[in-house]
Amino acid sequence: MFTQLVSGAILTLPMLAYGSPVIVRTESSYGGSSDSLSAFEPNTTAWKDGASDSFCIWRDSCNTTQSELIGEGLAQAMKLVEHGRDHLRRFGNDSYFQRWFGNISFTCDDLDSLCDGKYGIIPGYFSPSVPELTVVCPTYYLSKAPSAELCINGETIASQGSESTDGS
């Protein structure tokens, strides 16, 4: 009986430790400091030092309206990225969510003449001549639904494709 009780306690302790808050202690904090962190808070280390919330428009190629619409699309993308982050935390790193992250610069100039060309009228493309640029074609602004409308009628990004919302 005592052995079963000890075994049960030993098996339960890791679960209790996993679910309890993590306490960050330094030499000076053993005197009852309140430096506790939730186990679910992100580790806010210096990984984002030097990061910028702005985006780059190449050679001022977009007018004010185009820039604002790209900014709104990026704000919607941040919502999708937060969902992706939460998915990665829960399920790990999988290929479906890797494609949402990366460094990009935008241009509204059709550098490679692909907006209305051999591929039909498209909303945008990654420039083959300047790989770090994403070309935003005029049809982009008409072809995407707001992400708030993405899940109407039970649709998902997986069923519609990543190009279905203006946050992508």
Q: Are 146 and 77 found together in one domain?
A: yes
Query: What's the number of domains the chain is made of?
Result: 2
Residues 83 and 150 in one domain: yes
How far apart CA 121 and CA 140 sit, in angstroms, is 10
Q: Sort strands 22-23 and 36-37 into parallel, antiparallel or unpaired.
A: antiparallel
Residues 120 and 68 reside in one and the same domain = yes
Is 128 inside any structural domain? yes
Is the residue at 88 inside a domain?
A: yes
pLDDT at residue 130, as a whole number: 86
Residue 43 lies in a domain: no
- Examine the domain organization and report whether 76 and 29 are in the same domain: no
Domain shared by 115 and 149, yes or no: yes
Q: Which residue type occupies 80? A: L
- 18-32, 33-47, 64-78: which has the minimum mean pLDDT? 18-32
Shared domain check, 130 and 57? yes
Q: How confident is the model at residue 17 (pLDDT cuts 50, 70, 90)?
A: very low
Nearest to 67 by CA among 76, 77, 58: 58
Give per-residue pLDDT as tens, 73-123: 888 888 877 877 787 677 766 665 555 554 567 889 999 989 887 666 778
Task: Please check whether residue 42 lies inside any domain of the structure.
Answer: no
In a domain, residue 22? The reply is: yes
Q: State the residue range of the domain holding 138.
A: 52-164
Based on the domain organization, do 23 and 102 belong to the same domain?
no
Same domain for 112 and 64: yes
Co-location of 157 and 83 in the same domain: yes
One domain for residues 58 and 101: yes
Mean pLDDT for 44-50 is: 65
pLDDT of residue 55: 77
Confidence category of residue 66, pLDDT binned at 50, 70, 90: confident
User: Does 140 map to a domain?
Assistant: yes
Q: Is residue 47 in some structural domain?
A: no
Are residues 92 and 130 part of one domain? yes
What's the pLDDT at 166?
A: 52
Same domain, 97 and 150: yes
Between residues 2 and 127, the one the model is more confident about = 127
Under 8 Å CB-to-CB from 35, ≥6 apart: which residues?
A: 23, 24, 25, 26, 29
